[in-house]
Structure 1
Amino acid sequence: MSGKRIHEYFDRTPAKWGILGFLNECDIEPFDLKMDEYFKSLRNILERERGKRREKAELLLDRYRKDTRPDRQLAKDWYNRNPTGSSIHFHNSTFFGNAQRVETINNGTSDQREKRKLYKEILQFNLLPYADNVKSDHGEDEDSEYEAYNENEEDDVGESSTSEGDDSFKANTSFVKTYKDMDPTRKWVLSSGMIVEDVIFRKYKNMSVESLTHSWVIDLDNHEVASLFSPADWKEISSQTLSLPQLDVLMAKSVSRFARVMTTSGLREILETTFYRSKDEPYDREKHYDAEWVDLAMRRMLPLFESPDQLLRKSHLEGWYDSNIWSFIVDYALQDLKGMETVRKESSSLATTMRKNRKRVRTGTKDRSKIGRRLDAIVKTDADAYYEYGAVEVGKSFRGVKSTKWLIDKLKLAKTLHDMLFRLEVLVDHQDSLVKKLQVVGLVNSVLGTGSSLKVIIGSPQLHLWIWLSTKNALKLFSNTGLKCRVLRMSHPDGYVCLLERDELHEVPTVVENLQDLFKLLKSIWQMKKMIRDCLAVTNSRHIPKTEEELFAELTGGSPKSPPRAAMIPWSLDTPTKRKH
């Protein structure tokens, strides 16, 4: 954190501040920089502000440094539960320790074996964490936040290792109750006779950390879950997802114009000499909107590619990406969804709010209404009593699809999608023919840092040496800049189980030579929109008028046999309330 800035976590009321809350929300890595951000923010509040904010900042600093130092222990425990692999961090990172020599970094490749080799080579610096009494920027002594890094552990945790909430989570409470309440005749029985719900329950009933399976959601990319089934059974499960929509022909033609573009001048020439529709053809919004969107995206990317400051290769605040990238790639694409809107800026999910308050029966300070999961954007109907069909979660940094931050974001987003799907199934009255066509979508995107420098403390904390990774392969491994994006989709094929499928990971190109990456991303966003539109059509089909005979029978109490009903999916698992400090 530079200057006198204060981390956005402290924008909330002081009563809600706590070291665990900060560690869970702050996505700065590695851990030492996360703690540095925490201390600097509290010191800045202490120096600049008055009243309750100043009092709480002083209290939190005291809780970390004085008497029994309870927050120091909480930070250590949090670090042990949330290892981020080695202490190497390549986005404006700092190395701490008593390194005695510097090795040459070269010949790095994207191959995992070579990556581990390169990690090991760097770790020969004998890096250690902050020692006690390291001088801060303010000349104060800072206590050690943790014991030591595990140099052999990569940031490659499985989904079941992540937790949305506190470590007090116990799977054998509501998870067990939900299972026992299931109707055995409504469970998902595979061709082999295997019962999906039973397999999940046996594996995860004693798990001590939260996983998607505790909400009865199978992530098709989770190898741990896949290993519970035979190859034939897993193939049968995976085949039950809804097909991806085929790309619109006019949009495909609009994209194809740019197939051979490799330079900014070539991109400008195509934009100036070709058109997304025939020049003598009048504009039809319903017909040409997507083709025009492609044209707009290319026009907006061109000045970014041409920028002498290489704007796409620099780090910016999250708002910059929202305004200059995602606004025309995502928001504009979704604007032609009739009767729907995309609400940004920390929107609260109504579906999750309803789940969290389903047991609320009274008012009062101890029974306040709980707020649903806050997301970076929600796609919903524009009615007052709206329904939600999609969501967006933005991460400030990307360290791989197996990084802790990415996995936690995915868990939170997936649970919100499950809440949305639950409400939509209620909306269609659990009609089996409609439920099997419902599909909600999510978008996870992150900024991949551009920093290529490593700061190493040699001999003592006061001596700094800057090392620049200058080789092509090292830069490729550690400083591969860009904006990552992935679409998630969830459906309910059978029984009490939902499926989560993750599409390919796409990237906004930082140079025009990689424009092909943008084509794939635009296609993925278009498919996301089409899935939202199709899902809305399914829910609207519940209003199809009844025949005269059906209506007469219903009005006179002799209603014909109701259509088959799907099993009602369970509520998403309630994450335990975090402890207050």
Structure 2
Amino acid sequence: GKDQAEKAVLERPRTPEDKIRTAPLKYKPSISSIDTQNFSQELEDESESENFDIMYDAEVQDNVNKEKKEEVQDNVNKKKGKISDESRMEIENAYMKMKKDAMWKLSSGKFVEEELYNLGKKLEFEHSVHSFIIDTEDEIIKQHFREYELEEIDNEHVPKAPDLSQDVIDYLNKFINVTSANEVRSIIGEQDDRLNANYDSSKHHDLDYIPVLILKLTREIENGGLKQPNLESWYNCHVWSAIVDHGFGDIKGLSVVRGESACVATATRKNSKRITTQRRQMGRRGDWILRMSGNGDHDEYGMGEVGKKWEDEFGTKFLREKSLKQPKALKDMLVKLIRKVNWDKELRSKLQTIGIMHSGLMMVVVYMDNPHGYVCRIRRGDIMEVPDNEENLSALLVILAAILNAK
């Protein structure tokens, strides 16, 4: 039937063209067929804001000393990150305010908020579950829920992102089989009036972004710099600022704020109950933050973290940002945006914030959304790598596609 045919298509070997089209997220069959929809459990409109404003308070008080450490929640950081009794009390108070009929109920009968709360009570050290954030790739979560429950959590109300334009896909595909810098220059040198006499930044920015970035990274490969051990600031300057900043460059008023910028959304949450005699607290710092400038609210849509050396996906900084710091900041950003639409069911199910993690030449894109109830969810893309040789230049195309889709 139709389901079997769809499954056959999704399970076939992926071509380079497939990877470009599906760059943003892992290739999960069930995601492609899910449309954004309203939450199934209806609430009275007038009580909506009161109900879900609890999400804003469901946070662990930050440990300032721990924030400065490059440690993760494992045996490396057992000396730091232990949850205080005060934080546990705040989590309990937030949970007790949650209404059962507004929680996320799985087909198994379990309530996700209830499971995260009970799981958090068993953990001695801070984890994203204490902030009611669920990540189905986290080992603690994978051990707690059954396989079919994890799949249901993954697939619930996935926000539908706009597809890349066919013009962008076709242009990326021109570079699919390139294996040398000369081939790159030959393709870029082809006459294309959209990038010359007829160029219109409102229509052709993304097309222009592709050859500019490919040529820049090709030059870095020719110079040999990508094969050398480099500092974090070098990768920021030579690789990631070009890939990220230029990708978002055509959105008016949007800035990629670099230099360990503090998250305004987190600062807003931390200071929401501050009295005048208390010192104002700062937000979490990221290597860069995607922020709207020129409006009083300074809305934020994402953040990036950069490390100079990729060890593996279990590296210390990678795990720490992946499991705790970045998700909490992304949740703060998301909740602030949701508050701006007054917790409207349909609108909040379409909102998401993005996180991009770089380490050396490696990159991962993560998405934070609110699929149901009081829970925020992290979804992750595949680990991608900027090529350091001409033979693998086509690997860059998936990264460019992921950035454009994230935008």
TM-score by length of 2: 0.78
1:167 to 82, 95, 106: 82
Contact 2:247–2:404 at 8 Å: present in 1 too? yes
Secondary structure of the 1:227 match is helix
Is 2:348 the counterpart of 1:431? no
Secondary structure of the 1:173 match is helix
Residue of structure 2 in register with 1:187 after alignment: 103
Secondary structure of the 1:197 match is helix
Identical positions, percent: 31
Deviation at residue 338 of structure 1 after TM alignment: 2.5
Please, which runs of 5 or more residues in structure 1 have no aligned partner? 1-19, 28-77, 85-161, 448-482, 530-581
Is 2:394 the counterpart of 1:516? yes
Secondary structure of the 1:221 match is coil
Aligned 1:134-173 pairs, distance under 5 A: 166-169=81-84, 172-173=88-89
Q: 258-267 or 167-176: which moved more? A: 167-176
Q: Deviations over 1:452-498 (max 9, x none)?
A: xxxxxxxxxxxxxxxxxxxxxxxxxxxxxxx1111110110111111
Residue of structure 2 in register with 1:368 after alignment: 279
Secondary structure of the 1:412 match is helix
Is 2:250 the counterpart of 1:336? yes
Residue of structure 2 in register with 1:380 after alignment: 291
Contact 1:163–1:210 at 8 Å: present in 2 too? no
CA distance, structure 2, for counterparts of residue 418 and residue 397 of structure 1: 27
Q: Deviations over 1:342-375 (max 9, x none)?
A: 2111111111101111221122xxx211111111
Deviation at residue 329 of structure 1 after TM alignment: 0.7
1:269 to 160, 182, 186: 186
Secondary structure of the 2:280 match is coil
Deviation at residue 275 of structure 1 after TM alignment: 4.4
Aligned length: 340
Deviation at residue 289 of structure 1 after TM alignment: 0.5
In structure 2, give the amino acid aligned to 1:374. R
CA distance, structure 2, for counterparts of residue 23 and residue 227 of structure 1: 27
CA distance, structure 2, for counterparts of residue 237 and residue 225 of structure 1: 11
2:263 to 341, 345, 349: 349
Secondary structure of the 2:118 match is helix
Contact 2:260–2:286 at 8 Å: present in 1 too? yes
* Cα gap change, 1:275 to 1:174, in 2 (>3 Å): farther
The structure showing larger relative contact order (alpha-carbon pairs under 8 Å, at least 6 residues apart) is: 2
Aligned 1:15-414 pairs, distance under 5 A: 24-25=68-69, 83=75, 166-169=81-84, 172-240=88-156, 241-272=158-189, 274-275=190-191, 277=193, 282-307=198-223, 310-363=224-277, 367-382=278-293, 383-410=295-322, 411-414=324-327
Is 2:365 the counterpart of 1:422? no
TM-score by length of 1: 0.55
Residue of structure 2 in register with 1:498 after alignment: 376
- Report the structure, 1 or 2, having the larger helix content: 2
* Cα gap change, 1:254 to 1:207, in 2 (>3 Å): same
In structure 1, give the amino acid aligned to 2:288. A
Deviation at residue 285 of structure 1 after TM alignment: 1.2
Q: Deviations over 1:378-422 (max 9, x none)?
A: 112111321111111112222222222111112211100000011
CA distance, structure 1, for counterparts of residue 328 and residue 66 of structure 2: 22
CA distance, structure 2, for counterparts of residue 520 and residue 164 of structure 1: 40
Deviation at residue 233 of structure 1 after TM alignment: 2.5
* Cα gap change, 1:194 to 1:337, in 2 (>3 Å): same
Secondary structure of the 1:266 match is helix
Secondary structure of the 1:518 match is helix
Q: Radius of gyration: which is bigger?
A: 1
* Cα gap change, 1:197 to 1:82, in 2 (>3 Å): closer
In structure 1, give the amino acid aligned to 2:347. L
* Cα gap change, 1:207 to 1:443, in 2 (>3 Å): same
Residue of structure 2 in register with 1:525 after alignment: 403
Deviation at residue 431 of structure 1 after TM alignment: 0.9
In structure 2, give the amino acid aligned to 1:396. K
Contact 1:175–1:205 at 8 Å: present in 2 too? no
CA distance, structure 1, for counterparts of residue 91 and residue 191 of structure 2: 56
Deviation at residue 243 of structure 1 after TM alignment: 3.7
CA distance, structure 1, for counterparts of residue 332 and residue 66 of structure 2: 26
Q: Deviations over 1:190-240 (max 9, x none)?
A: 233221111222222131111111110101212431333333332221112
Q: Deviations over 1:264-297 (max 9, x none)?
A: 222222222x245557861121221001000101
Deviation at residue 258 of structure 1 after TM alignment: 1.4
Please, which runs of 5 or more residues in structure 2 have no aligned partner? 1-63
In structure 2, give the amino acid aligned to 1:196. V
Deviation at residue 181 of structure 1 after TM alignment: 1.6
CA distance, structure 2, for counterparts of residue 434 and residue 277 of structure 1: 39
* Cα gap change, 1:279 to 1:495, in 2 (>3 Å): closer
